[in-house]
Structure 1
Amino acid sequence: MTDLSQNPCIICVAITGSLPTKENNPAVPITVAEQIESTHEAFEAGATIAHCHVRDDEGKPTSDPERFARLKEGLEKHCPGMIVQLSTGGRSGAGRTRGGMLPLSPDMASLSVGSNNFPTRVYENPPDLVDWLAAEMLTHGVKPEIEAFDLSHILQAAKMHRDGRIKDRPYVQFVMGVKNAMPADREVFDYYIHTVKRLFGADTPWCAAGIGADQITLNDWAISSGGHARTGLEDNVRIDRDRLAPSNAALVRRATDLCAKYGRPVATWQQARAILGLKMPATA
């Protein structure tokens, strides 16, 4: 087995998402204040990236830049040094409204470079919108996280990197377990890793996310394979088959336990920023 003791693991916490509600799990943070508090607990538990969506007054997903601004400000104040990653996902708006928060210049933002099926609809990412979002990220100094729901998305990210639409080496996250998209398949997962290393270099950092019951599976595969891990209530509201997760922090601690199992250190925010090539904040 590869020695993982010198390879710190970045843990990303996806705090809210667009779908989970208080009815699904009372711990899902909906308001900006709840999101800041929940993220602070997850930060103290070991998470160094906060993947963020915002909700409107009715708890529905939105891309409202003002709400993102308040959340970003609160996270920078209460979680100094934590990497703030804002979502440009399709459930929060249509067309260019999905990137309306990019002028806030967060550390990172999600970027889906192709379309795929979701449980009840098509997740549409047309080429012109992808190009616009990528250009906005370049303009505002935002590092994209490529959310790969399919092998073709990794190959498209490589093409965009070659022709300059993505600056620096892409950070790719494999998303597995979405109904009607890519299931949690170990051979596919291993081929994703092979493809990233072939296209971007053997030392390229990558991440993985599993949906629902597949969250712990993908955490295990990623941590034991030298990648980075995403957890949080956006993707999964349960701590096990019989119990709801009491908090985002509880899911983060479950991932840190896996790091301990494999003898792998949990990355500090300083290490996470160095691994991803992000600047250090002046106020942290």
Structure 2
Amino acid sequence: MTDPCIICVAITGSLPTKDNNPAVPITIAEQLESTQEAFEAGATIAHCHVRDHAGKPTSDPDRFAALKEGLEKHCPGLIVQLSTGGRSGAGQARGGMLPLRPDMASLSVGSNNFPTRVYENPPDLVDWLAQEMLDHDVKPEIEAFDLSHILKAHQMWKAGQIRDRPYVQFVMGVRNAMPADREVFDYYIYTVKRLFGQDAPWCAAGIGPNQIVLNEWAIGAGGHARTGLEDNVRLDRDRLAPSNAALVRRAARIAERHGRPVATWRQARQILGLRMPEAA
């Protein structure tokens, strides 16, 4: 394979703390520095959460605005993807940053179990978030924690709730949700290609020690890869990851081994059908 591989870096998330790994970037300044290093290592999508003054997850649009502005200044061309995840807020507060018009935003289209609670994505909220993304020209990344979420994304696409062909990310390894199962993974790929076309781009994310497993599977199967300290704070059983960039470099080495170049930001935008920055 010679198709470029997009590397997404999930820089912070809602759960990891500096007690888990001192390299986890919490403040806006730390996130900017960590993301710039990851961008220079080959990441072309930054999946972003923000924290409040106490380090707790929040959906505060002002904090998202500051992060987005800094990323666009220091990482020109980087695809900024803001999270509408449920750990950072409730109800429509989860989409309060969408008027900022980031390139992308995460969209979970169904509910599932998480380690200690239910990750609730009720249909009316999913519909509202999708409409907000349409209104503000934000491309959703469908976070599929279950096969039904891929089918729901197809239904929404056919109904016009998602404008462009959906970009689906398989999330595997969350405790109490879908484990990292190779046969299920292969069926996910089959389903995406059946519903959205043989050339439909897709991505995969593995949680904890499954991160490197899913990087291998996705890159080897022609998909795109997500890495970063949100999903996994370790390089291996014995070593903490020193940075987001270290995890990006690891994914880049896997791509090299499979004969796939790491996508530039221009290639990533072309693959995903995203607008080019005005200064490009």
Superposition TM-score tier, normalisation by shorter sequence: over 0.9
Identity of aligned residues (%): 82
Q: Deviations over 1:201-238 (max 9, x none)?
A: 00000000000000000000000000000000000000
Give me the whole-angstrom Cα distance separating, in 2, the residues matched to 1:108 and 1:189: 24
Aligned pairs, how many?
Answer: 280
SS in structure 2 of the partner of residue 91 of structure 1: coil
Flag structure 2 segments of 5+ consecutive residues without an equivalent.
Answer: none
Structural mapping, 1:99-178, within 5 Å: 99-178=95-174
Partner of 1:12: 8
Q: In the alignment, what sits opposite 2:204?
A: 208
Match of 1:240 among 233, 236, 249: 236
Q: Distance in 2 between matches of 1:258 and 1:276?
A: 22
Q: Structure 1 stretches (4+) deviating beyond 4 angstroms?
A: none
- SS of the aligned residue for 1:173 comes to strand
- 2:268 matched to 1:272? yes
Q: TM-score, normalised by structure 2?
A: 1.00
The answer to whether structure 1 residue 261 and structure 2 residue 257 are counterparts is yes
**Partner SS state of residue 92, structure 1:** coil
Choose the corresponding residue for 1:42, options 38, 41, 48. 38
* Structure 1: segments with no counterpart, 5+ residues: none
CA displacement 1:87-120 (0-9 Å, x = unmatched): 0000000000000000000000000000000000
Q: Write out per-residue CA displacement over residues 230-263 of structure 1, whole angstroms, 9 at most, x where no aligned residue.
A: 0000000001110000000000000000011111
Q: In structure 1, how many angstroms separate the alpha carbons of the residues matched to 2:102 and 2:179? A: 31
| Structure 2: distance between partners of 1:156 and 1:204 | 16
Q: Counterpart of 1:226 in 2: which secondary structure? A: coil
Matching residue of 2:188: 192
Partner of 1:251 in structure 2?
A: 247
- The equivalent position to 2:75 in structure 1, one of 73, 79, 101, is 79
User: Which amino acid is the alignment partner of residue 149 of structure 2?
Assistant: H
Root mean square deviation of aligned Cα: 0.4
How much has 1:282 moved relative to structure 2?
Answer: 1.1
1:6-63 per-residue CA deviation (whole Å, 9 max, x = no partner) reads x000000000000000000000000000000000000000000000000000000000
How many Å separate the matches in 2 of 1:36 and 1:46? 15
Aligned residue in 2 for 1:95: 91
